[in-house]
Amino acid sequence: MKSNTIGYSSVPISPSVDAVGVDDRIDRIQKRSIKNESKKEGLPLILSMIDLTTLEGQDTELKVKQLCSKAIRLHDAAPELPTVAAVCVYPALVKVAKTALAGTSINVASVATYFPSGQADIKVKLADVKHAVGEGADEIDMVISRGKFHQGEYNYVFDEIAQVKEACGKARLKVILETGEIGNLDAIRKASDIAIYAGADFIKTSTGKIPKAASLPVTCVMLEAIRDYYFKTGIMVGMKPAGGISKSKLALAYLVLVKETLGVNWLTNEWFRFGASSLANDVLMQYMKLKTGYYQSPDYFSID
C-alpha cells in the first residue's frame, strides 16, 4: 500500500484521557433514575437505532429472510413504534436482504474488509467492499487492521480507511476499532481520531466476536473524539456501540451519554446506532410494560 503521509499528518495529536474522570462520569450516569415519561420517549428511539445482525458462518438465505421479516414486523404489537435502522449481514447475503426489505425504509448494512479479523491484503478488502456495495449495501461496516495499529503503522491504518471510504461510493462507512483489542483509553482515542480524519461516517466499538465488546467508558472516549472533530470542522460523525448491549436500561444510559456529550442532534438513527439484535426484544417488553402495566412473556417475541 502506498503511504499517504499527508493524509495521516492531518490527524492532530490525540489528548491524554483522564480515565478516572471518565469512570466517575459513567458512574454518575448509571446511578440516575430515569422516569417513565422519559422511558416512553427513549424506548422507541432505541428501537429505531438498532442494527439487527446475523454474522455467523452458518447463516443461510432463509435465516436472513427471517431476520428481515422480524425487522419489518417487529412493531406489529405496537404499530406506533418505528422500525429498526438496518439489517446487517455478510456480503454474500446482501442481495437476499435487499430483496426481502424492498419497499421499506430499513437499510441493508454489510460487514466487509475480512471481518472480523481484518487480516487480509488491501486488494482483498477493497474487493469485499465493492462486492457488498454492488449487491446493494447501503452501509459498510469495516474493521481496521489492529495488528498494524499495534505496530505503530498509523499511516497504513489511515490510508486503508481512506481507500475503503472511496470504495464505498454512496454507501456510508462505519469503522470498527475492535476496542477490546486496541488497548487502553488513550489508544482508543488515537484510533478514533485516525478513523474520523480518514473519512469514517461512523466509528464503531466492536465486531461482537470477542468478549470485550462495547462499554460506556469506551463509548464516552469515542464520543469525545467526535465532539472535538465537530468543534474543529463542523462535520458530524456517527457512533455505534456494538456487542453486550441487551437491556433497555443500559441502552438508555447510552442515550444520556450521547445527549450530554454531543447534543440532541445526534439522537437519531442517522448518527447513532446500537449493534445489538437481542436488545430489540427487551425494548418491546419494556415498552409494552409501560403501555399496558404488565410484562409480556419473552415467548411472545421472535428470537430470530
C-beta pairs of 294-297 under 8 Å, 24+ apart in sequence: none
Residues 68, 74: Cα–Cα separation, whole Å: 10
Question: Residue 86 contacts by C-beta under 8 Å, 6 or more apart in sequence?
Answer: 51, 52, 106, 107, 108, 109, 138, 139, 273
Residues 201, 270: Cα–Cα separation, whole Å: 10
What amino acid positions are annotated as catalytic residues? 141, 204, 240
Structural element, H or E, at residue 24:
helix 19-30
Q: Residue 141 is placed in which grid cell?
A: 461496516
Instruction: Count each helix (H run) and each strand (E run) in the chain, helices first.
Output: 13, 7
Cα Rg for the chain, rounded, in angstroms? 19
Residues 291, 230: Cα–Cα separation, whole Å: 38
Q: Are 277 and 57 in contact (CB under 8 A)?
A: no
Residues 227, 211: Cα–Cα separation, whole Å: 28
What single letter denotes the amino acid at residue 265?
N
Q: Are 29 and 216 in contact (CB under 8 A)?
A: yes
Q: Any bridge partners for residue 88, and if so which?
A: 53, 109
Q: What is the pairing mode between strands 139-143 and 86-89? A: unpaired
Query: What are residue 201's phi and psi, to 5 degrees?
Result: -85, -30
Query: What are residue 98's phi and psi, to 5 degrees?
Result: -60, -40
